[in-house]
Amino acid sequence: MPRTGERGGPQTRARILEVATRLFVERGYDAVTVAEVAREAGVSSVTVFKHFPRKEDLFLDRADDAVDLLRSAVRDRAPGVDVLASLREATLRLVDGRHPLSGANDRSVPFFRTVAASPALVARAREIAAELQLVLADELERDPAFEGDGALLAAFFVAGYGTVLVETARRRVAGEPPDAVVDDHRVRLERLFDALRYGLTPTASAAAAAATEVGEVGEVGEG
């Protein structure tokens, strides 16, 4: 393919991503080289690495979006809204909007298949999860309104979200009905936040159910 202008900024980045995603999905991540992506996109390998320092980032390109989401959930929450409530709202908003980060997007299945087939992508995904955990822990440490163990909360949240996402990925790849999988994905996220707030014991589960019931009664009363 003839060379395109390499100073295209966002347009060049988008073109590289589009080409890389197509080639990785069609042929498998490990079977495609950066040089092939560059050639197909009409740029040099140097330009590819300028936009994406690691080959894995050509496919796992939304880490920065996830960082922004976590920071916003902590920094931009309204007065009186605690961190868990803010994280819950942000997380469920992703699902309801079928955002790519949610795992509920219609194009998630080929993405999941490609990641699962590549040890390099699986390893990078785990690295990204660890990086996100550190980001959230740091934000909580800096937040004067947060009282608690930020490192522990960040670890539980990231691990729990990852567990829900991996199960959703498995079911989507297995061909289960998308709507049913997404509905269950949302239910399991709600369980995650109940566990983070109330714990995992039967007593805690009852407390979570009671809190939900009180909330529903309050909504009826306000109507």
Read off the pLDDT of each residue in 136-156 and give the average, rounded to a whole number. Answer: 96
The answer to whether 90 and 72 are in contact (CB under 8 A) is yes
In tens, the pLDDT along 106-133 reads 889 999 999 999 999 999 999 999 999 9
Asked whether residue 2 is assigned to any structural domain, the reply reads no
- Count structural domains, the chain: 2
Q: Give the residue from 38, 55, 72 where a domain finishes.
A: 55
19 plus 106 within the same structural domain? no
Q: Is the pLDDT of residue 1 over 70?
A: no
> How far apart, in whole angstroms, are the C-alpha atoms of residue 105 and residue 147?
35
* Residue whose token pair is 């009282």: 147
Same-domain pairing of 77 and 34: no
**CA pair distance 52, 91, nearest whole angstrom:** 26
Rounded Cα–Cα distance for residues 102 and 81 (Å): 23
| Inside any domain, residue 189 | yes
- Domain extent, residue 48, equals 10-55
Higher-confidence position of 196 and 218: 196
Whether residues 207 and 184 fall in one domain: yes
The domain that holds 147 is classified in CATH as: 1.10.357
